[in-house]
Amino acid sequence: MVTQPAKPAQPARPAPDTSRRSERSRRAIYEAALALVAEAGYPKTTIEGIAARAGVGKQTIYRWWGSKADVLLEAFLDLGERAAEAAGHAPDSLPDTGDLAADLKAVLRATVDELLDPRFEAPARALSAEGVVNEPLGREFVAKLLEPRLQLYVDRLRSAQRTGRLRTEIDPRIALELFVSPLAQRWLQRTGPISYAYTDTLVDYALYGLAPR
Amino acid sequence: MVTQPAKPAQPARPAPDTSRRSERSRRAIYEAALALVAEAGYPKTTIEGIAARAGVGKQTIYRWWGSKADVLLEAFLDLGERAAEAAGHAPDSLPDTGDLAADLKAVLRATVDELLDPRFEAPARALSAEGVVNEPLGREFVAKLLEPRLQLYVDRLRSAQRTGRLRTEIDPRIALELFVSPLAQRWLQRTGPISYAYTDTLVDYALYGLAPR
Amino acid sequence: MVTQPAKPAQPARPAPDTSRRSERSRRAIYEAALALVAEAGYPKTTIEGIAARAGVGKQTIYRWWGSKADVLLEAFLDLGERAAEAAGHAPDSLPDTGDLAADLKAVLRATVDELLDPRFEAPARALSAEGVVNEPLGREFVAKLLEPRLQLYVDRLRSAQRTGRLRTEIDPRIALELFVSPLAQRWLQRTGPISYAYTDTLVDYALYGLAPR
Amino acid sequence: MVTQPAKPAQPARPAPDTSRRSERSRRAIYEAALALVAEAGYPKTTIEGIAARAGVGKQTIYRWWGSKADVLLEAFLDLGERAAEAAGHAPDSLPDTGDLAADLKAVLRATVDELLDPRFEAPARALSAEGVVNEPLGREFVAKLLEPRLQLYVDRLRSAQRTGRLRTEIDPRIALELFVSPLAQRWLQRTGPISYAYTDTLVDYALYGLAPR
DNA sequence: TGATAAACGAGACGGTACGTCGTGTCTTTGT
DNA sequence: ACAAAGACACGACGTACCGTCTCGTTTATCA
């Protein structure tokens, strides 16, 4: 039997040296990418355009990222981090006042604000759209952005189960979708308007059910 | 007398004569578009590719549609219509056995089957993604495809309200999102697996609520 | 055995019926072709453009002519005929006052005027250029337009030979080129300015030679 | 001092960097252009065809040339230069044996050979035709190709004037046209056959005149 | 601290697709 | 019945970006 030599398979460009990377260029690329997506939309945002606006060679982008979507995803993650830093670090849990409905309504109202913030809208839509059709990017988008946030709901719902505010046989990972997914769909697909009243209603419906008691 | 203001008057090419349109070409374009999206994915599907595969000049596509997304939307609508005809016309209502939970579960199970059908998946994802980022197309997609189906849920829920299976103060347009949107989001964003058990659970949670009774 | 019916071989469109031809359309096409060539230049003159301007279907052009160049050639010939009619019929001979040099100078001065007339310039250049590169058209252009005019010089030179003003061993068909071709080349290739003085000089040089007597 | 008014400033793409230009591509484009014009004729020669045959992107042509005619003109000039190099540099003067008639006949016979050489014919006709109709190109063609050659005749004729073989009051720039232009016109417009006998006759007629001595 | 190797800006390159225009054929419509 | 109108398959146009590939020029680590 012939043993296959441990071929590196791909031509595998000799991985660039991260330590020499220009921080200046990276930041400029993030800013250019976000600005262009906001101004011209995702499809009209091109790698050449980002490079030109960032005052950077195209190769500098291709050296560190695999695609336009990758650049934008990192830029958007970075934007989130910087926003979190500005707000004194990211929350690692949802509020827990003991009043589950009130806590959920508060958090969803904040999400409504965020979804309507034009600074977030353009890149968030672009990445979501790309993720729908581009599975690896979609999974990364979910894993890095969506799932951590959903996990906070799981934690809060588990806490509610411990204090008897939520039925214990309920699966929190599914339960959270009852109020989160409707909002997500209305935003993504524009199937309806988004408002505090709407999210409040969702929480009420989800917690107390649709059937008569 | 009111003078009509001088209409915007874009270059606006003089609108082709629909009566002379080649039915043969239209069908060929639909088939080519759907096949290419399924085989190569939406981004690699090009107008040139569709034209070549359909044995049609590019101009014949540009004459009747404004973009790749428009072509695909019509092709997909047509696919739905032909599928409906094959199945003896489209349903104009949901089943109504009197058992609301059972009826909803049955319908959602059928939707699960549809979402997992590879023939539908590629164009549906492509159009959904495009709609996220391209507002006019998104609105058309929702109006022509999503909303009519959601309206069937509204009707069924209204019926349940009349028979006392659903609280009368519930807004059916919002209520339906409790079980439809989670499934939609899992499919669109791959935030979780899709199965009959999952949709059954959604119906149960939505109808009876998360909080203890 | 199956006898092959006497196939007409070529698709050979069934030669259109000349008697039913619309005179109105033909004139409109001539005018449109000349106008467009004058206004936009030959390369920007298109069959579609001629048809549109003449208020005629494209097929009406393709039915009667084989190419843009054919249309223009006929239009230009027609223009010449109408100009000749307007001037009381075309000359069938050059002036013959007995003074060969004077007669030639007069005729060449008239040619200079014609070459500098902008109404003639655009189509004449277009057809000449096309003829350089398109042999059949070139030959037709020469046969129908150039050669008849050159023949007039041949006749006049023969007359001069009879009266002893021209050496009898001279070939008139070549001789005429000594003063006609330089003018033609200056006009066609812009190798020099065109003027009465220039053509007068040509006649003098040609008649009396360059070498000392 | 006069201030230069703010130049018209077309969009004017920022002029490519000549030092980075690919010599390989340039040569391939020249060869492809000449080959295609020879094989298919000028009108059927397309920029796409040249690019494909040269194994070059279309943009590489559009980057360095403004039109098909420009490409062909440079290719043809280059062909001439390479032919001259192969022949041990271009002649910078006509032969001068003292016998003017013999010298002119020899040079014109060489020109006849050249005009009948199929390698030169196709591009030379194409460029001449284009120049008839496209004034800037025509002027460039004349300035770079025709005029330098005509100047050699001027020089030779001046020399003949000094040695008394040519009347001193003759303008050499016009005189040369008596034998050069007829040949040019016969070739360009196919108004007659081209042969050594013909050009010999032209020289005789031009030098000694048509009128009796 | 100076050498050297990488990442960098710039942008030319071979390509692919764009959306438009014109060709020459064919079909429909109005008269 | 013919001609206008114009849809059609086709192919080239000139442009925009793609992703790769040199070019010098910084720049930052180690010798």
Q: Please check whether residue A165 is in contact with residue A101, taking contact to mean a CB–CB distance below 8 angstroms.
A: no
Nearest one of A115, A122, A136, A142 to A42, comparing CA atoms: A122
> What count of Cα atoms within 13 Å lies in the side-chain half-sphere of residue C195?
6
C7 pLDDT higher than 70: no
Residue-averaged pLDDT of chain A: 91
Q: How many Å apart are B5 CA and E3 C1'? A: 75
Instruction: Classify the C-alpha dihedral A81-A83-A87-A90 as positive or negative.
Output: negative
Those of residues 34-73 in A touching chain B at CB distance below 8 A are: 41-43
Residue A152 has what pLDDT?
Answer: 97
Chain A: touching chains (3 or more CB pairs < 8 Å): B
Q: Please check whether residue C157 is in contact with residue C94, taking contact to mean a CB–CB distance below 8 angstroms.
A: no
- The mean-pLDDT minimum among A55-69, A188-202, D76-90, D143-157 falls in D76-90
For C10-44, the pLDDT digits (tens) are 444 456 667 677 888 899 999 999 999 999 999 99
Q: How many Å apart are A83 CA and F30 C1'? A: 38
Find the residue in A nearest to B174 (Cα). A202
Residues 6+ apart with CB under 8 A from A18: none
Looking at chain A, the whole-number percentage of residues with pLDDT higher than 70 is 93
B3 pLDDT higher than 80: no
For B8-59, the pLDDT digits (tens) are 444 456 678 898 899 999 999 999 999 999 999 999 999 999 999 999 999 9
Fill in the DSSP letter of residue B19: G
- What residue type is assigned to position B176 of the chain? L
Asked if A147 has any chain B CB less than 8 Å from its own CB, the reply is yes
Contacts of A145 in chain B (CB under 8 A): none
Residue C64 has what pLDDT?
Answer: 93
C-alpha distances out from residue A111 to A83, A105, A149, A193, A199, Å: 14, 10, 11, 14, 10
D209 CA: distance to closest CA in chain C (Å):
3
A54 CA: distance to closest CA in chain B (Å):
24
For C130-172, the pLDDT digits (tens) are 999 999 999 999 999 999 999 999 999 999 999 999 999 999 9
B22 CA: distance to closest CA in chain A (Å):
32
pLDDT band with cut points at 50, 70 and 90 for residue A208: very high
- Which stretch of DSSP H or E encloses residue A106? helix A100-116
A82 touches strand F (CB under 7 A): no
Q: Which of A130, A181, A186, A200 to probe by mutation at the B interface, max B CB count within 10 Å?
A: A181
C-alpha span between B25 and D98 (Å, rounded): 77
Q: How many Å apart are B56 CA and F7 C1'? A: 12
D201 pLDDT higher than 60: yes
Residue B14 has what pLDDT?
Answer: 66
C-alpha span between C140 and C70 (Å, rounded): 10
A4 pLDDT higher than 60: no
Contacts of D180 in chain C (CB under 8 A): 185
Residues 6+ apart with CB under 8 A from B106: B95
Those of residues 70-129 in D touching chain C at CB distance below 8 A are: 100, 125-126, 128-129
Asked if A130 has any chain B CB less than 8 Å from its own CB, the reply is yes
Q: Touch between chain C and chain A (3+ CB pairs, < 8 Å)? A: no
C-alpha span between B48 and A168 (Å, rounded): 57
B6 pLDDT higher than 50: no
Find the residue in B nearest to A188 (Cα). B132
Those of residues 150-209 in A touching chain B at CB distance below 8 A are: 150, 157, 164-167, 170-171, 173-175, 177-178, 180-182, 184-186, 188-192, 198, 201-202, 205-209
Contacts of D105 in chain C (CB under 8 A): none
The alpha-carbon radius of gyration of chain A (Å, integer) is 21
> What count of Cα atoms within 13 Å lies in the side-chain half-sphere of residue C179?
34
D91 pLDDT higher than 90: no
Q: Which residue has the higher pLDDT, A84 or D204?
A: D204
Q: Is C93 left (phi over 0), alpha (psi -120 to 50) or beta?
A: beta
Name the residues in B38-57 having a C-beta closer than 7 Å to nucleic acid strand E: 44, 46-49, 57
D186 pLDDT higher than 50: yes
Closest residue by C-alpha to C1' distance, nucleotide E15? D57
A41 touches strand E (CB under 7 A): no
Mean local confidence (pLDDT), D190-204: 98
C-alpha span between A207 and A105 (Å, rounded): 11
Residue D94 has what pLDDT?
Answer: 94
Q: How many Å apart are B195 CA and E20 C1'? A: 49
C-alpha span between C191 and C188 (Å, rounded): 8
Q: How many Å apart are C140 CA and E27 C1'? A: 35
Q: C1' nearest to CA of C62: which nucleotide? A: E24
D133 pLDDT higher than 50: yes
| Bases of chain F within 7 A of a CB of the protein | 2-24, 28-29
Residue-averaged pLDDT of chain B: 92
B77 pLDDT higher than 60: yes
> What count of Cα atoms within 13 Å lies in the side-chain half-sphere of residue C192?
20
Q: C1' nearest to CA of A22: which nucleotide? A: E7
C-alpha span between D192 and C176 (Å, rounded): 12
For B123-144, the pLDDT digits (tens) are 999 999 999 999 999 999 999 9
D144 pLDDT higher than 70: yes
Mean local confidence (pLDDT), C106-116: 96
Looking at chain A, the whole-number percentage of residues with pLDDT higher than 90 is 83
Mean local confidence (pLDDT), C171-182: 97
C-alpha span between D184 and C189 (Å, rounded): 10
- By residue count, chain D amounts to 213
Structure tokens that stand for A23 in this block? 């921080």
Looking at chain D, the whole-number percentage of residues with pLDDT higher than 70 is 93
C-alpha span between A133 and B126 (Å, rounded): 6
For C58-101, the pLDDT digits (tens) are 999 999 998 999 999 999 999 988 888 888 777 788 999 999 99
B134 touches strand E (CB under 7 A): no
Residue-averaged pLDDT of chain D: 92
Contacts of A69 in chain B (CB under 8 A): none
C73 CA: distance to closest CA in chain D (Å):
15
Q: Which residue has the higher pLDDT, A4 or B175?
A: B175
